[in-house]
C-alpha cells in the first residue's frame, strides 16, 4: 500500500472537519455586525466601572456582555447626542477555553492580588479605558507559566483549548491552523499518529473531529 502524501491527508482532514461542522450547525452567521472600535475613552466619565456596560461579564450572562441599543439611546436620542446605530459585535469564533466567572473564583481562592478588567484588556500604563478586547498570550502567561517545551507538540491542549467541533471556525480559519512539527515526520501517518491519539485524544480533538478518523479507517 502506498503512503498517502501529507497534502492529501490534510485536504481529507479539512473536508471531513467542514462536513462535521456543517452537520452540527456550527457555520458562522456571516461577518460581525459591528467591528469598528468603540470609543471607550470618550465614555470614561459616564461609566466608572466596566460592568456599567458589560454587566453580564462577571456572571457569565452572554446576553448582557454588551450594552443594549436602549442603553445607548438614553443619551444618543437625537437631542442630547446624535443618534447612533449600535447592535454589538457578534461573538468571535474561538477555541480558547476561558470563562470569566470561573477565572475570578480561582483567583479569589488563590488569594492573589485583585485582578481587574484592565489587567488583561487595557494597554499597560494607559489607563482603564485604553481597551484592547483581544488579550495577548503574554497576559495569560504572566500568571500561567507555559511548561511545555513546544507549544504544539507536548502541551496539554485541553487546558486552554476547546475541541474543534465547538470552535465554530470557518474554512479559512481551519486552513490556518498550525501543523505541529511531529506531523511532518515521514512515519507519522502510518506509524506514530495511532499511539499519539491513544495517549492524548484531547490533543487530536483540538484540530480534528472524529470524522477525520473515518476518512482513513473505514
Number of CB atoms found within 10 A of residue 115's CB: 13
For residue 131, CA distances in Å to 42, 48, 190 come to: 12, 14, 48
Cα–Cα distance between 112 and 123 in angstroms, integer?
Answer: 21
CB 42 within 8 A of CB 53: no
pLDDT tens per residue, range 111-155: 656 677 877 888 777 777 888 666 766 777 777 777 778 888 888
Counted residue by residue, the chain has a size of 218
Predicted local distance difference test score (pLDDT) of residue 136: 65
Among all chains, which residue has been given the C-alpha cell 449600535?
86
**CB-based contacts of 103: which residues, under 8 Å, 6+ apart?**
none
**CB-based contacts of 31: which residues, under 8 Å, 6+ apart?**
90
DSSP reduced 3-state for 161: strand
pLDDT tens per residue, range 149-176: 888 888 888 888 888 888 888 888 888 8
pLDDT tens per residue, range 7-54: 333 333 333 333 333 333 333 333 334 444 688 888 888 888 888 888
Predicted local distance difference test score (pLDDT) of residue 169: 87
pTM over 0.85: no
Amino acid at each position: 500500500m502506498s503512503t498517502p502524501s501529507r497534502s492529501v491527508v490534510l485536504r481529507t482532514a479539512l473536508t471531513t472537519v467542514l462536513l462535521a461542522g456543517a452537520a452540527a450547525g456550527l457555520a458562522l452567521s456571516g461577518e460581525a455586525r459591528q467591528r469598528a472600535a468603540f470609543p471607550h475613552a470618550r465614555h470614561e466619565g459616564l461609566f466608572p466601572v466596566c460592568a456599567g456596560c458589560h454587566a453580564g461579564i462577571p456572571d457569565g450572562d452572554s446576553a448582557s456582555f454588551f450594552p443594549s441599543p436602549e442603553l445607548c439611546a438614553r443619551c444618543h436620542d437625537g437631542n442630547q447626542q446624535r443618534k447612533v446605530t449600535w447592535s454589538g459585535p457578534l461573538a468571535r469564533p474561538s477555541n480558547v477555553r476561558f470563562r470569566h466567572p470561573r477565572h475570578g473564583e480561582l483567583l479569589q481562592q488563590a488569594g492573589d492580588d485583585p485582578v481587574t478588567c484592565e489587567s488583561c484588556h487595557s494597554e499597560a500604563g494607559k489607563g482603564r479605558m485604553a481597551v484592547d478586547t483581544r488579550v495577548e498570550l503574554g497576559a495569560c502567561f504572566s500568571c500561567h507559566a507555559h511548561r511545555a517545551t513546544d507549544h504544539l507538540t507536548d502541551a496539554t491542549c485541553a487546558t486552554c483549548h476547546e475541541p474543534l467541533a465547538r470552535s465554530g471556525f470557518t474554512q479559512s480559519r481551519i486552513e490556518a491552523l498550525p501543523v505541529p512539527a511531529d506531523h511532518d515526520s515521514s512515519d507519522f501517518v502510518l506509524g506514530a499518529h495511532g499511539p499519539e491519539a491513544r495517549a492524548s485524544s484531547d490533543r487530536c480533538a483540538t484540530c480534528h473531529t472524529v470524522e477525520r478518523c473515518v476518512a482513513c479507517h473505514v
